[in-house]
Copies of this chain bind each other. A is one copy, B any other.
Amino acid sequence: MIVVSVMYPASADAKFDMKYYLERHVPLVGERWGSMGLREAKVLQGVGAPGGGVAPYQVMALLTFDSAVAFEQAVAQHGKEILRDIANFTNVQPIIQVNDVLV
């Protein structure tokens, strides 16, 4: 099991259409990758930092896949379509990384 984290930075001029993201983009990810090893998709919204600061990331998606190989195949097949859809809801580039689950 791996977790792919997709983190959208917050910034003064960052736009993020949460309605499109939740109603169109997240379902698109589920439709394309649900049969390719995607086990779970969790979406977090940054609301603050300890001590009253601003959350550095406005949105974080955590995608659990069966394996790194399954994720690579999912990206090879539908990655372009899913990445291209990002411009429909935000003007920021997400930081994406692949993670092993230790605990």
Contacts and interface: CB of A to CB of B under 8 A. Distances in A.
B46 A97 contact: yes
Is the contact region of chain A dominated by helix, strand, or loop, or is it mixed?
strand
B42 A97 contact: no
Interface residues of A, number: 33
A63 to B, nearest CB: 11
Contacts of A47: 2, 68, 97-100
Interface in A19-75: 22, 26, 41-50, 55-57, 60, 62, 68, 75
Nearest to A71: B50
Interface of A: 2-5, 22, 26, 41-50, 55-57, 60, 62, 68, 75, 79, 95-103
